[in-house]
Structure 1
């Protein structure tokens, strides 16, 4: 393990590298990915004001969104016979512009333990059993994340093991903020495969309906995205490229949904791997349960160049 300086002074900060590709994670702060560089070029965004983002429960870099990705439609949900009422003013949660709980328990409040650190890989775990965690998501489990760098790629594999006598609902995801160097956002060329476009209401909550989406292979221009999609198969690749630079997100296993986020006035976009659609804990749509003693696995990869 190589210690690296960072704005949050996290002593667990770890750099992993292979050839000209390197990544940095903060196990002590939610296993947040704060850097992904290839040939000296940084491809992550929202990674420069981490102290401010931590103080305000804002997402940054590559955040792990647990126990739910994106929004819930309200403050109550019930799964596997357990009902939950979330606080509307919690210091460990984030809320969207409508006051809805968003992205689960935020990364500054979750300290992972390093299991193994090598030059090109990092394994960390989180035991979801603390009362503060169970108030938000009363399903004991153990999370294990493995980040592996190879030349021009970073793969992140997540395992969720159900550690008690009740099943664990699966609705986590990631929100990587990606950007390309020295090219205006309007000139970024986006590729998205054919998928099913999830119809959202005015709060950006899925209505349960979906429409065909024929894919996209065009400049981003002034397009705005904050859209949910369901994959047509088990795997998919979404990418952005410009001026000889390209970064792709490969959804390899366990991610049948994705959210695409690209506000027109920001120099970043996100292709978000999601194990379930937004609001799945409330709606039950696309929600899977991990039986007691079993393990769920999901994997995605960044490819650069």
Structure 2
């Protein structure tokens, strides 16, 4: 168990267990690195860089986008800060630049906490934690959201891991997603409609090569198989599996051909567990209203088989 030097993303918390290692950054509680028996399972980024494409960060109290940053609370329009200025949206919640504090630590786990204070467009007070725990074959992640407000608070949670399998080029990996709907979006990536994946290029219930996909897409109607929502498979049979509990009914898949890798560029894929789809503060879909004094606990995980 080591605490690495301070970086632009704050302190770096390293945890280890039986050949597995994870490094979590203080800012945004980002999963900056995960490896098992020397095989990298997530896309890492340098200590002197902020997370590219939101790599590994925790998304609270909403993942993805809120269109125009506007939603309605008891008939009153609420205006969030526009953090995706080019698309005029509020994106990825309120903690992506917040330093989490260490609450608990063991050799193989760390719990970090951060507070959401009342602010523009979100008049609620939340105490949040995230626990990263190395387990046999992977990592378990547990979130808690406690409502410190006097009124019910709307909350959704997501995380933004980029997954990989060692040095196998990501474009050569096969991706399976156990979801039977997807969200059609407009030019600003805000949802227009939820549609069945049947007969479309969004049907990933049978594996497709990542290199053939161009996605920044939310999927719904997630029907996990033994808790698994998505699978990355290498040509040699190795697999990385994303686990989601019942609270995580949605998953976002984001492919990008421009991700820094060893000084060059390569393909990468983020597979993001979410409790709600884009614009949930307006649609209400998947949105959890947490009662005053209530603590909501939820989780997801990553497993690797070599």
TM-score by length of 1: 0.86
8 Å contact 1:170–1:276 — kept in the other structure?
no
Give 1:91's aligned residue. none
Where do 1:44-193 residues align within 5 Å? 44-45=42-43, 47-48=45-46, 51-53=48-50, 58-79=52-73, 83-88=77-82, 94-95=83-84, 97-105=86-94, 107-108=96-97, 110-129=98-117, 134-193=119-178
8 Å contact 1:46–1:60 — kept in the other structure?
no
Q: Measure, in 2, the Cα distance between the counterparts of 1:144 and 1:185.
A: 31
SS of equivalent to 1:53: coil
SS of equivalent to 1:180: coil
Q: Measure, in 1, the Cα distance between the counterparts of 2:232 and 2:295.
A: 33
* Structure 2: stretches of 5+ with no match in the other structure: 259-265
8 Å contact 1:80–1:166 — kept in the other structure?
no
Q: Measure, in 2, the Cα distance between the counterparts of 1:199 and 1:233.
A: 19
8 Å contact 1:127–1:141 — kept in the other structure?
yes
Give 2:296's aligned residue. 296
CA deviation after TM superposition for structure 1 residue 173, in Å:
0.6
CA deviation after TM superposition for structure 1 residue 268, in Å:
1.3
Q: Measure, in 1, the Cα distance between the counterparts of 2:285 and 2:102.
A: 34
Give 1:257's aligned residue. 250
Q: Measure, in 2, the Cα distance between the counterparts of 1:203 and 1:177.
A: 22
SS of equivalent to 2:56: coil
2:239 to 246, 259, 267: 246
CA deviation after TM superposition for structure 1 residue 83, in Å:
4.2
SS of equivalent to 2:50: helix
Q: Measure, in 2, the Cα distance between the counterparts of 1:82 and 1:158.
A: 30
Q: Comparing both structures, which one devotes a greater share of its residues to strand?
A: 2
Q: Measure, in 2, the Cα distance between the counterparts of 1:226 and 1:203.
A: 11
Q: Measure, in 1, the Cα distance between the counterparts of 2:104 and 2:74.
A: 33
Give 1:22's aligned residue. 21
SS of equivalent to 2:281: helix
CA deviation after TM superposition for structure 1 residue 223, in Å:
1.4
Give 2:263's aligned residue. none
Query: Deviations along 1:21-69, whole A, 9 cap, x unmatched?
Result: 1111123x12111110111222222512x54436xxx544311012221
SS of equivalent to 2:151: coil
Q: Measure, in 2, the Cα distance between the counterparts of 1:46 and 1:101.
A: 26
Question: C-alpha root-mean-square deviation of aligned residues, in Å?
Answer: 2.4
Residue correspondences, number = 290
CA deviation after TM superposition for structure 1 residue 97, in Å:
4.2
Q: Measure, in 2, the Cα distance between the counterparts of 1:137 and 1:304.
A: 38
* Structure 1: stretches of 5+ with no match in the other structure: 89-93
CA deviation after TM superposition for structure 1 residue 187, in Å:
1.6
Q: Measure, in 1, the Cα distance between the counterparts of 2:122 and 2:189.
A: 22
Q: Measure, in 2, the Cα distance between the counterparts of 1:59 and 1:169.
A: 25
CA deviation after TM superposition for structure 1 residue 86, in Å:
2.5
SS of equivalent to 1:134: coil
CA deviation after TM superposition for structure 1 residue 264, in Å:
4.8
Q: Measure, in 2, the Cα distance between the counterparts of 1:14 and 1:232.
A: 32
